[in-house]
């Protein structure tokens, strides 16, 4: 028998006013939250706005808040939302009043926190990309590095492997520091900075340049060690640990 599920979806046409729409429909086996949003578009309301691209947890486009947890919609199954283990001690994410949400029977779908809503589940990622560019996330090869490829040993690769997995989904911006300080560079950006600082192929000059940015007040020193980012990240990047590593490195080099 095909089971019906209820959804409560945040709506906002970008004019500052928001409300929640309820939908109820049959859910087939293996249906993801992203599939459910397509179903809503196809059968109930074609104006529902949300982002996606790969549908395979790679592009990082479909980040949203599901039952008060920032998640990738394409990787979250409808049938497991209510039974999945949730990250502990998350901040309270509020997007507007939804006094009639029944957490036992309704799946609540909201945008990512700490970003401006453009429409429904689509948030403005411009600040995220602006801060991302500030950490200079690209290689500059050393002048004496003349090989066609810059090689690394397995142990050198191991140092940055976890950090390379970041898909820039923005889920970690659910950080309480990002909430109160719009100038805070952000967990993903700092994890990316550590990814380049620790890369054996990067020049000292480039390393110093990235460090000079991330050691400013609104970057590494602003992190209050909530580690919400570590608990939320869908790729195991552990940005909070990367921030700690930058801090430790800086202290030991003084
Ligand atoms: S660190 Fe994790 S949560 Fe943050 S943007 Fe990268 S993949 Fe997403
Ligand atoms: S659609 Fe690409 S990560 Fe979900």
105 plus 184 within the same structural domain: no
- The answer, yes or no, to whether any atom of ligand 2 lies below 6 A from the CB of 35, is no
Q: What's residue 211's pLDDT?
A: 93
The verdict on 64 and 135 lying in the same domain is no
Return the ligand 2 atom nearest residue 74 CA: 4
More confident residue, 234 or 249: 234
Cβ(184)–Cβ(243) below 8 Å: no
Q: How far apart are CA 117 and CA 11, in angstroms?
A: 10
Q: Are residues 136 and 236 in the same domain?
A: yes
According to DSSP, the residues that pair with 219 across neighbouring strands are none
> What is the three-class DSSP state of 193?
helix
Query: 143 falls in which pLDDT band (50, 70, 90)?
Result: low
Which H or E run contains 8? strand 3-12
Q: Is the CB of 53 under 6 A from ligand 2?
A: yes
CA-nearest of 230, 228, 248 to 239 is: 230
Using the mean position of ligand 2's atoms as its centre, give its distance from the Cα of residue 53 in Å: 6
74 Cβ closer than 6 Å to some ligand 2 atom: yes
Q: How far apart are CA 229 and CA 164, in angstroms?
A: 16
Q: Is 57 exposed, middle or buried (0-12, 13-18, 19+ CB in 10 A)?
A: middle
Residue 166, pLDDT score: 98
Instruction: Using the 3D structure, point to which of 107, 122, 137 is the last residue of a domain.
Output: 122
Range of the domain at 12: 3-122
Could you read off the pLDDT of 145-178 as tens digits, one per residue? Answer: 666 777 889 999 999 999 999 999 999 999 999 9
72-128 confidence digits (pLDDT tens): 999 999 999 999 999 999 999 999 888 789 999 999 999 999 999 999 999 999 999
Same domain, 159 and 113: no
pLDDT (mean) for 35-56: 98
Per-residue model confidence as pLDDT tens digits over 183-235: 999 999 999 999 999 998 888 888 899 999 999 999 999 999 999 999 999 99
Q: Helix 187-197 crosses helix 204-214 at what angle (to 10 degrees)?
A: 160
Question: Which ligand gives the minimal distance to the CA of 169?
Answer: 1
Write down the pLDDT at residue 252. 64
Q: Using CA atoms, how far apart are residues 233 and 65, in angstroms rounded to an integer?
A: 13
At 35 the three-state DSSP class reads helix
pTM of the full structure:
0.95
Last residue of a domain, which of 97, 122, 147? 122
Same domain, yes or no: 167 and 59: no
Residue 21 belongs to what H/E stretch? strand 18-27
Among 90, 107, 122, give the residue marking a domain's end: 122
Judgement on whether residues 139 and 248 belong to the same structural domain of the protein: yes
Same domain for 95 and 132? Answer: no
């Amino acid at each position: 028998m095909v089971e019906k599920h209820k959804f409560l979806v945040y709506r906002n046409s970008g004019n500052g006013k928001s409300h929640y729409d309820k939908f109820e429909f049959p859910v087939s086996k293996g249906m993801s939250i992203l599939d459910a949003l397509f179903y809503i578009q196809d059968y109930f309301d074609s104006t529902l706005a949300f982002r996606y691209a790969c549908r395979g947890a790679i592009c990082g486009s479909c980040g949203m808040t599901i039952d008060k947890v920032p998640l990738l919609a394409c990787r979250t199954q409808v049938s497991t939302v209510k039974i999945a283990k949730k990250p502990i001690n998350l901040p309270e994410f509020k997007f507007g009043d939804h006094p009639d949400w029944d957490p036992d029977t309704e799946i609540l779908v909201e945008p990512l926190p700490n970003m401006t809503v453009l429409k429904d589940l689509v948030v403005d990622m411009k600040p995220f990309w602006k801060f991302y560019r500030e950490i200079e996330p690209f290689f500059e090869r050393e002048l004496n590095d003349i090989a066609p490829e810059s090689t690394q040993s397995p142990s050198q690769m191991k140092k940055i492997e976890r950090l390379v997995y970041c898909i820039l989904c923005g889920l970690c911006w659910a950080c309480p520091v990002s909430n109160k300080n719009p100038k805070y560079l952000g967990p993903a950006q700092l994890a990316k900075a550590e990814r380049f600082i620790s890369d054996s192929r990067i020049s000292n000059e480039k390393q110093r340049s990235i460090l000079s940015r991330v050691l400013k007040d609104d970057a590494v020193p602003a992190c209050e060690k909530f580690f919400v980012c570590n608990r939320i990240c869908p790729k195991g990047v552990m940005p909070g640990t990367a921030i700690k590593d930058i801090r430790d490195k800086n202290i030991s080099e003084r």
